[in-house]
Structure 1
Amino acid sequence: MEAKRETKIEDKKSNLILENRRKLTINGVIEVINFNENQILLNTDVGTMMVKGQELKMNKLDVQNGDVIITGKVDSFVYTSDKSKIKKDSIISRLFR
């Protein structure tokens, strides 16, 4: 029987670089869940991240390496709870729309 190894957030890497509130570089991205010009929702190695702003665009999307570059006016970026919980909530919320 194979023992499952639980990976902690401390064991994973994710880097953020914000330049003049106009360019956000993110490493450790697993997938892009949803995006429009005012909000981008990403799954990262350390949880789900929501980026809010104006005229947001994804200039570079390299999911194979986990790199994303977002340009536009960045107002905020927030990590929400564990990505598995967010996925479950979004599936349930999709059913009841």
Structure 2
Amino acid sequence: MMEQGKTKRQEIKMLNRKIMEISGVLNVESFDSEEFLLETECGFLSIKGSNLHIKNLNLEQGLVAIEGLVNGMEYLDASSPEKSKGFLGKLFK
């Protein structure tokens, strides 16, 4: 039997701007050492910083842990040009 009315839930924990743990992650759209783009239950999440890398990834449980220096994060609207930037957009800046 399917669960109806399942609420979306996401937690973001950060320690000293160096370690982030994020739950509710559906997919890792793109990542490099300066930016991660995650599809989450609450929308697309952009994380920017330096020397970023994946410490732990478990999409079955919706968990991602990122290490590096975090400078900022923001949720992107569906109409935002940042979401569609992707690899080729970064290549031809």
Give the alignment's TM-score, normalised by structure 2.
Answer: 0.78
1:90 to 62, 71, 84: 84
Residue 52 (structure 1) aligns with:
48
How many angstroms apart in 2 are the aligned matches of 1:67 and 1:61? 6
Q: How does 1:5-84 map to 2 (within 5 A)?
A: 11-82=7-78
The 3-state SS of whatever aligns with 1:90 is coil
* Residue identity opposite 1:28 in structure 2: G
Q: Which runs of 5+ in 1 are unaligned?
A: none
Percent identity (aligned): 29
Q: Which runs of 5+ in 2 are unaligned?
A: none
Cα drift, residue 90 of structure 1 = 2.6
**1:1-58 deviation per Cα after TM superposition (whole angstroms, max 9, x unaligned):** xxxx8x79xx200000010000000000000000000000000000000000000000
Cα drift, residue 81 of structure 1 = 1.3
Aligned length: 82
Give the alignment's TM-score, normalised by structure 1.
Answer: 0.75
Q: Which has the higher helix share?
A: 1
* Residue identity opposite 2:25 in structure 1: V
RMSD of aligned Cα (Å): 2.5
